[in-house]
Amino acid sequence: RLYLNHDHARNGEPGVDAFWLEKYQEAGQPYGWLADTAIVEIDSLDELLETFAGDVNGLVLWDDAVPATLNVATTIAGVEDVAVLRAGSPLEAEVEAYLPIKQSLADRFQPGATTLPDSDTPSTGSPKADAYLWAKEQYLDTGRANAQFLAYLLDGWPATRYRAEKLTQGGVYAIERDYVVQQRGFAFDLSPWADELPNDDPDQPLGTDAATLTTLVEAAEAQAGGLIKVWGFIPWYEKYSSEVGGTHHPTGGEWESTWLFAQHGGYLQGGAGDVFGVAMANVSVHKFGPPPAPRPHPTPPSEADLIAAGYLTNDGQVVPDRTFVMFYAGDYDLAHPVEVLLANYAEQPWLDARRGQVPLAWGFNPALVEDIPAIMSYLYATQSDQDYFVGANTGAGYTNPDGLSDWQYVRWLWRTRRFYGDYGYDVQGFLLNGNGAHMSQRRLNAFTLIAPIGILSPDYQTDNPWPRLQWGTPVTALPSETLFGTPDIAADTIHTVYKRVVVEEKRPPFLALRAAFQSPSLLWATRDRLQVHQEEGHIVSDDGTVLQPNYTVVDPYTFFFLLERWLSSSE
């Protein structure tokens, strides 16, 4: 019932929140579920409280001396139907006129404590860790919080930064919490690194954060009875990484935490944190939109189609004088980039004027219909004949397949198979195994059953030989290089990959390139520059030989048909 318009207009066009609200009011569209709903604007805090105070039981106060209590308060808010407010906030008196304080976390967690509050459990020596372990005992172990919904949210650390007259580098996770509260999730913010003191709690015993994080995830697994959705993301831009003086690269923290979640049946599906410049708001409202109707699998091209296109010879062999290129347009595995980047913001990939003029394999997580169903309805309804939906990292959510137990991997396959089957996905555009490195052959074999057309994985996690047929499914690698910048820079990147993969390593002339959050205009122009560079003799080997790759950009179904034919003929 409550929708926050937090983003501003740009160039006379609505901001992200207004964009989706306007889409939802379009009559006659499958995503126009609010077309007949009255929209009432609320312009003041008093009016907000007057309208909604009766829907909550009161307040829980968090303590900015222990920033972790913001996340604990978020957990309490969902379980006990209360609103969250900072203790000592200048709004406290105004809000308390409508809502009584039901619980205060102020001064609850102190340095030097011997036990957790109201518990015989020994203190960790860290008020931060103690707060989460207390919340675990009160809300997770008891089954009151939703053990199948964890939330990795930056805590109240920004308040500490602001008191020191410093700005945050990313978002503050202030307006992403509505969905966590609605889902009665369990929120936390802890470092996955046991070998480094966290920058927000440098006085704790070494390894306390990591041990506490493991304890929480183990407790959730014991209660969940199945897979665990993890909302949010490691707040690398403020903590636990080389971005803020640590020793670990942000990607390392992503991988370390994701591997831990996978080991206990967890997968990521939320993201957020304002790292794109706009926060992810209103998922608690988006949740109620209509899911898309089931979609059939695309029809692959026929042999006759590809002969007519000049890609196969008359006897059905792949023509020898072309290099086939596929653009993987990712990475839309999490809700945040889908809600924000595909609206009226940044590069506006989905609103780009060139979308539909170049074949793109859009990497989406079809399970986002669980969280933002009407947004997914909008994307499917506005798809062009050059837009192809393929699976993003790593199926129906982001996990590491080899981190899952055997039983959880079976659950993962069934979950992914259900969403892929409902929405016509049969290509896996990005299969990342994180800390598991090369994916086990047995599990990769199983994945071919849900992505039989083709599978792409990063080159640094793809075992040789590649490309190859895996149980009849073509499997090949995405190079570490990604496409971004200007069309000339992107084209030069493709030349670099071509020279390494095709010329030096003697692999078949099939290149799949990843372009994360880039515009169709960039990829359309890159295709043009590939041809111009060849005509100008710009593509040169290390020994000075002018190369003639004859790049041909194709859709994923053509790409994998031709690759399968090439590999079958070679065998």
| Phi and psi torsions of 389, nearest 5° | -95, 120
- Provide the β-strand partners of residue 476: 456
In the block, tokens 């080389």 appear at 242
Average pLDDT over residues 145-168: 93
Q: What are the DSSP calls for 478-541, one per residue?
A: E-S-B--SSHHHHHHHHHHHHIIIIIIS---SEEEEEEET--HHHHHHHHHHHHHHHHTT--B-
Query: What percentage of the chain exceeds 70 in pLDDT?
Result: 99
Confidence of residue 167 (pLDDT cuts 50, 70, 90): confident
What distance in Å separates the CA atoms of residue 491 and residue 493, rounded to the nearest whole number?
Answer: 5
pLDDT digits (tens, 9 = 90+) for 82-95: 999 999 999 999 99
pLDDT over 90 at 9, yes or no = no
| Phi and psi torsions of 9, nearest 5° | -75, 155
Domain 303-570: assigned CATH number: 3.20.20.490
Contact 176, 271 (CB under 8 A): no
How many alpha carbons fall within 13 Å on the CB side of residue 473? Answer: 20
pLDDT digits (tens, 9 = 90+) for 363-379: 999 999 999 999 999 99
Residue 270 tokens read as: 């939320």
pLDDT of residue 537: 97
Average pLDDT over residues 120-135: 99
pLDDT digits (tens, 9 = 90+) for 400-419: 999 999 999 999 999 999 99
Residue 221 tokens read as: 């697994």
Confidence of residue 345 (pLDDT cuts 50, 70, 90): confident
Residues 6+ apart with CB under 8 A from 350: 342, 343, 379, 382
What distance in Å separates the CA atoms of residue 228 and residue 548, rounded to the nearest whole number?
Answer: 50
Average pLDDT over residues 566-570: 95
What is the three-class DSSP state of 446?
helix
Query: What percentage of the chain exceeds 90 in pLDDT?
Result: 93
pLDDT over 90 at 174, yes or no = no
pLDDT of residue 160: 87
What distance in Å separates the CA atoms of residue 509 and residue 549, rounded to the nearest whole number?
Answer: 8
Reply yes or no: is the peptide bond before residue 426 cis, omega within 30 of 0. no
Q: What are the DSSP calls for 139-171, one per residue?
A: IITTT-S-TTEEEE---SHHHHHHHTT---SS-
How many alpha carbons fall within 13 Å on the CB side of residue 339? Answer: 31
Strands across the sheet containing 266-268: 186-188, 149-152, 228-232, 266-268
In the block, tokens 């653009």 appear at 327
What distance in Å separates the CA atoms of residue 338 and residue 503, rounded to the nearest whole number?
Answer: 37
Q: Is the pTM of this model over 0.95?
A: yes
pLDDT of residue 273: 67
Which runs of consecutive H residues, i.e. helices, occur in 334-434?
335-341, 373-381, 406-423
pLDDT over 70 at 512, yes or no = yes
pLDDT over 90 at 285, yes or no = yes
pLDDT digits (tens, 9 = 90+) for 531-549: 999 999 999 999 999 999 9
Q: What is Dmax (Cα atoms) for the chain?
A: 81
| Phi and psi torsions of 350, nearest 5° | -80, -25
pLDDT digits (tens, 9 = 90+) for 419-471: 999 999 999 999 999 999 999 999 999 999 999 999 999 999 999 999 999 99
Query: What are the C-alpha distances in Å from 445 to residues 363, 452, 471?
Result: 21, 10, 6
In the block, tokens 């029809």 appear at 299
What distance in Å separates the CA atoms of residue 331 and residue 328, rounded to the nearest whole number?
Answer: 9
DSSP 366: G
pLDDT over 70 at 63, yes or no = yes
Judging by DSSP bridges, how do beta strands 387-391 and 360-364 pair with one another? parallel
pLDDT of residue 58: 98
What distance in Å separates the CA atoms of residue 190 and residue 212, rounded to the nearest whole number?
Answer: 8
Q: N- to C-terminal Cα distance for the chain? A: 60
Confidence of residue 168 (pLDDT cuts 50, 70, 90): confident
Confidence of residue 272 (pLDDT cuts 50, 70, 90): low
Contact 353, 521 (CB under 8 A): yes
Q: How many CB atoms lie within 10 A of CB 193?
A: 22
What is the three-class DSSP state of 39?
coil
Confidence of residue 479 (pLDDT cuts 50, 70, 90): very high
pLDDT digits (tens, 9 = 90+) for 204-251: 999 999 999 999 999 999 999 999 999 999 999 999 999 999 999 999
pLDDT over 70 at 275, yes or no = no
pLDDT over 70 at 274, yes or no = no
What distance in Å separates the CA atoms of residue 327 and residue 318, rounded to the nearest whole number?
Answer: 20
- Provide the β-strand partners of residue 398: 268
pLDDT of residue 13: 86
DSSP 368: G
pLDDT digits (tens, 9 = 90+) for 185-211: 999 999 999 999 999 999 999 999 999
Residue 43 tokens read as: 């312009």
- Domain segments of the chain as ranges: 61-286, 303-570
pLDDT over 80 at 276, yes or no = no
Average pLDDT along the chain: 96
What is the three-class DSSP state of 309?
coil
Residue 495 tokens read as: 């030349």
- Provide the β-strand partners of residue 97: none
